């Protein structure tokens, strides 16, 4: 398969994974938010909606692995940010709310930024033979930031938005580490069980932090952090450790940076709308039309 065909297939698979992750996020957040403090594990394990979300996560992860098997981390991870494009109409559908034009403008902006990032940056495959010594320092930095964020979340339990944001950052970064390790494993299966076990452990840790973020506060605070933290950590490790490359020469550099900035801004904007749409509907207009959000 040619490099162009591999990248195209990776993008398609990443979009499928994004749709599955979006379904999972909407289901899990609504289930976790209904659980009182101190009863998260027991509460979500009894929720059929939460288990449906787990199934969506599992399916998304398997498709993501397939995408990473044929494409680079720098291609797959930015595309996964589009999960918010799927989560937005899904949450609106279940809440009975309708979206304003400004919301769809933001959605188009995010989609355009994703396309520009991939087309202009032209991410390339890296070196899968990176030794363990190359992982040490970058991994310590990313995991260290995740631990600090989790600690901030624990200390901010009475401030729901800050706690949700902090736990979301921790979960997103740990998911990013798991993704980078997954790419490492799919390219070098012979590395053995140690790398695979590390990838699974990071993924489980990220999953747990995300559930805590969903319980702690609004999706507007947690989902952007998870969604952005994961690709940033994964792409950073892909570039620093696996020697993947993004073309930023000449005018490409400012364009790629601008695309990344638009991705961050529009992702946060969309996730805030998505969080509002996911809240229980409390009122309708006099004519019976669902209120608009965004």
DSSP 129-141: T--HHHHHHHHHH
Q: Which two tokens stand for residue 192?
A: 């053995």
The average pLDDT across 190-195 equals 49
272-282 tens-digit pLDDT:
654 454 444 44
Q: Which two tokens stand for residue 12?
A: 């398609």
Pairwise CA distance, residues 77 & 234, whole Å? 7
Cut 0.85: pTM above it: no
149-158 tens-digit pLDDT:
888 888 876 6
The answer to whether the CB of 62 falls within 8 A of the CB of 247 is no
Q: Which two tokens stand for residue 283?
A: 């009122």
Tell which wins on pLDDT, 59 or 280: 59
| Predicted pLDDT at 222 | 72
Helix (H, G, I), strand (E, B) or coil at 2: coil
- Residue 127's nearest CA partner among 135, 137, 118 is 135
The answer to whether the CB of 199 falls within 8 A of the CB of 253 is no
Pairwise CA distance, residues 282 & 185, whole Å? 48
Pairwise CA distance, residues 20 & 15, whole Å? 9
| Predicted pLDDT at 13 | 94
Looking at every residue in the chain, the average pLDDT score rounds to 75
| Predicted pLDDT at 56 | 92
């Amino acid at each position: 398969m040619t490099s162009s065909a591999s990248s195209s297939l990776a993008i398609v698979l990443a979009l499928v994974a994004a749709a599955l992750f979006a379904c999972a996020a909407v289901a899990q957040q609504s289930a976790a938010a209904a659980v009182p403090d101190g009863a998260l594990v027991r509460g979500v394990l009894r929720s059929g909606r939460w288990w449906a979300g787990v199934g969506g996560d599992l399916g998304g992860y398997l498709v993501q692995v397939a995408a990473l098997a044929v494409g680079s981390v720098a291609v797959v991870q930015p595309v996964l940010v589009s999960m918010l494009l799927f989560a937005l109409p899904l949450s609106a559908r279940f809440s009975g709310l309708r979206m304003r034009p400004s919301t769809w403008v933001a959605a188009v902006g995010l989609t355009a930024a994703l396309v520009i990032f991939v087309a202009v940056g032209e991410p390339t495959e890296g070196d899968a033979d990176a030794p363990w010594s190359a992982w040490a320092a970058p991994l310590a930095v990313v995991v260290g930031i995740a631990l600090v964020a989790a600690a901030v979340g624990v200390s901010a339990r009475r401030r729901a938005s800050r706690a949700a944001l902090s736990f979301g950052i921790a979960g997103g970064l740990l998911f990013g580490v798991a993704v980078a390790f997954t790419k490492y494993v799919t390219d070098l299966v012979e590395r053995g069980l140690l790398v695979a076990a590390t990838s699974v452990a990071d993924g489980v840790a990220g999953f747990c932090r995300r559930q805590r973020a969903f319980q702690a506060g609004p999706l507007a605070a947690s989902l952007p952090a998870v969604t952005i933290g994961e690709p940033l950590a994964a792409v950073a490790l892909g570039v620093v450790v696996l020697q993947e490359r993004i073309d930023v020469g000449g005018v490409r550099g400012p364009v790629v940076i601008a695309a990344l900035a638009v991705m961050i801004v529009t992702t946060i904007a969309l996730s805030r709308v998505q969080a509002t749409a996911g809240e229980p509907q409390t009122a309708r207009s006099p004519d019976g039309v669902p209120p608009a959000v965004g």
